[in-house]
């Protein structure tokens, strides 16, 4: 009876974790450049002294869904989307280099080019600083050009170039801050084959309908685990009554 109870208890706990991951995906269905988290469930033997008579279920983040989102035209000069495979390099809150597909760029009050989430965009020599300008353009290769204040239409100056990289699919790791990193740490090399589409943004790759269906499936799965725990309790009570009668 206790074996049945243990299996149901661990199954219910891991179902809750899967539900949390799926709910986070659903909450980011409208987040620019978001990549959905994947989860997998496995059964593992319980290690410890004695016989291997117990198993438990474990569900955990098992990677990132790298399916591209759709491109949405905005016409805004600072909006860019990565075309095909590739990532935009940004500075994470801890100062390390990380990567994102979110191209909703802004210039903050200090003149630093950041993503919509506030992460500084990295160029050839670190975070990109944008001088005061009358117009700003971002080329397909990530080159940032500006027309300085008070200058003519043809007076363009190159400020920097956005660092664009490619990561092998098996080297992609997603952090708790939502940013992508290279497995094992370290910085990826800039890749000239990665290009941008100006005046567009990439949508989240979360399928809201599938996530809602999964939400219902996990809720029913959790209810089944709870019912199994209740059944184990009832069977245990029935067995105790039979023993007392004997």
Domain boundaries, given as residue ranges, for the chain: 2-66+206-245, 71-202
Q: How far apart are alpha carbons 212 and 26 in whole angstroms?
A: 8
pTM of the model: 0.82
- Tokens representing 148 are 């300085």
DSSP 95: S
Confidence of residue 55 (pLDDT cuts 50, 70, 90): low
> Do the beta carbons of residue 64 and residue 37 sit within 8 Å?
yes
Report pLDDT digits (tens) over 130-182: 999 889 999 999 999 998 887 777 778 999 999 999 999 888 999 888 999 99
HSE-up of residue 79 (Cα within 13 Å, Cβ side): 13
Helix, coil or strand: residue 152: coil
């Amino acid at each position: 009876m206790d074996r049945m109870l243990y299996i149901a208890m661990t199954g219910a706990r891991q179902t809750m974790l899967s539900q949390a991951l799926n709910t986070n995906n659903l909450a980011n269905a409208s987040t620019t450049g978001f990549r959905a988290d994947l989860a997998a469930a496995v059964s593992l033997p319980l290690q410890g002294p004695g016989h291997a008579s117990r198993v438990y279920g474990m569900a955990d983040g098992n990677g990132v869904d790298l399916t591209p989102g759709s491109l949405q035209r905005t016409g805004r000069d600072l909006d860019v989307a990565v075309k095909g495979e590739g990532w935009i390099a940004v500075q994470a809150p801890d100062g390390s280099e990380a990567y994102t597909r979110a191209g909703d760029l802004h210039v903050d009050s200090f003149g630093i080019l950041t993503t919509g989430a506030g992460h500084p965009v990295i160029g050839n020599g670190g975070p990109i600083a944008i001088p005061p300008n009358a117009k700003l353009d971002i080329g397909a290769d990530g080159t940032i050009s500006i027309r300085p204040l008070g200058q003519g239409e043809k007076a363009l100056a190159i400020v920097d170039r956005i660092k664009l990289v490619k990561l092998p699919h098996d080297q992609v790791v997603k952090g708790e801050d939502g940013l992508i990193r290279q497995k094992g740490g370290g910085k990826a090399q800039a890749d000239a084959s990665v290009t941008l589409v100006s005046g567009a943004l990439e949508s989240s790759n979360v399928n809201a309908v599938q996530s809602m269906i999964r939400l219902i499936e996990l809720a029913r799965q959790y209810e089944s685990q709870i019912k199994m725990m209740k059944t184990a309790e009832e069977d245990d009570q029935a067995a105790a009554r039979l023993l007392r009668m004997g």
